Every structure is written in structure tokens, then in C-alpha cells.
Amino acid sequence: MATRHRIKAGLCGATLALLAAFPLCRAGEKKSPALEDKVKTAFIYKFTHYIQWPETPAAENFTIAVIGDSGITAHLRELARQKTANGRTILVEQLKSTGTVGPCQILFVAAKEKERLPEIIKITEGKNTLIVGDSAGLALRGAAVNFVVVDGRLRFEINRGAAARAGLEISSELLKLAILVEEGGAKDVRP
């Protein structure tokens, strides 16, 4: 049983590494927002295997909320029809304002909502919510995960302090693939 778990973990790690190495476009081409959103969706799904949330009843849904308008919402809904997260049904919610943020395991902050991050952090405080975004500097400002494009490849930053404050444990395998950042500006860019 333990061997099967190690093999599965190794395969998930290999998938994450391949996603990180996958270019968003060929040299000289424009990047495709739809492709980028699909890759972000794949990353978000894989994060559910490498981030540990506090125990919740198995009957509860695994909720991914998106605040603001983002192309990622449709891809997340498609994912929810096909997959589960740790044996739990994935529910995707589209939120129009911070006032409608309810309990969720992952909260994706659309680029147009990035200025609301301090309010979002306050609303989700103590609720074990992984805040994910895709705007420059978001992890430095308190999001736990932020997508960035480096040399034409989609990467992700992780703010370990923000994840710890949310009561989440991030596996060492995921941390090895991330650009580690700290609030206030420190960045550790690794190949």
C-alpha cells in the first residue's frame, strides 16, 4: 500500500514538473489566454494533491471559488465534471463581490480584483482557504499562490507564510517546483 502511494505521488510530481516545463507558446507566437487558463486549471487541480487542508467531513464538497471575471472559471467547471479532489466532489462558484465569499478550500482572485486582496485576506482569515491569483506581486502581498510567466513558461510563486496563516501544509515536492516568495519582497527564483 505504501509503495502504491509513493508511485502515485511520484507520478503526480512528474506531472507537475511537466506542466512547469510546458511553454505557453512557440517562439515568435503570441501566448493563448485559453491555453494559459487550461494550464492554470491543471495546476490548481494538482495543488489539491500536494496541499493538506485540515480534516473536513468526506461528505462536504471541495469548493473552488473564483472572485471576479476570469476565463479560468469555465475550465474549472469542466474539471469539476470530470474529477474529484481527494475523493470529494468539486464545486466551482463564481463570485461577483467579496461580500459573497463563503467557505471554500481555494479562492482564485481574478486579475481585475487584485486590489481587493487585503479585504479578501481578512474575509478568509481562519477559514483554511488557499488564495490563488495571477497578478504581478500578489504572493508578495499575501496570496499563498500566484501564477507568473517566466521565460514563456507558466510558473507559480508560493508564499509559505500566507499558506501557514491559512492553516495549510504544502508538501516539499510542490515547494521544490515553486518560486518561493515572502511578503515584503524576498524572492528565490530557481530553474
pLDDT by residue (tens digit) across 116-136? 999 999 999 999 999 999 999
Q: Which residues of 59-89 are buried (b: 16+ CB within 10 A; e: fewer)?
A: eebbbbbbbbebebbbbbbebbeeeebeebe
Q: What is the structure's pLDDT at 57?
A: 76
Residues of the chain scoring pLDDT < 70: 1-31, 186-191
Q: What is the structure's pLDDT at 51?
A: 97
Angle at 132 between CA 146 and CA 64, to 5 degrees: 155
Contact 70, 33 (CB under 8 A): no
pTM of the model: 0.83
Q: CATH for 2-188, among 3.10.20, 3.40.50, 3.30.70, 1.25.10?
A: 3.40.50
Q: What is the structure's pLDDT at 58?
A: 73
Contact 51, 85 (CB under 8 A): no
Radius of gyration of the chain (CA): 16
Number of H helices, E strands in the chain: 6, 11
Q: What is the structure's pLDDT at 55?
A: 85
HEC readout, 55-85: CCCCCCCEEEEEECCCCHHHHHHHHHHHCEE
Q: How far apart are CA 125 and CA 135, in angstroms?
A: 21
Spans of all domains in the chain:
2-188
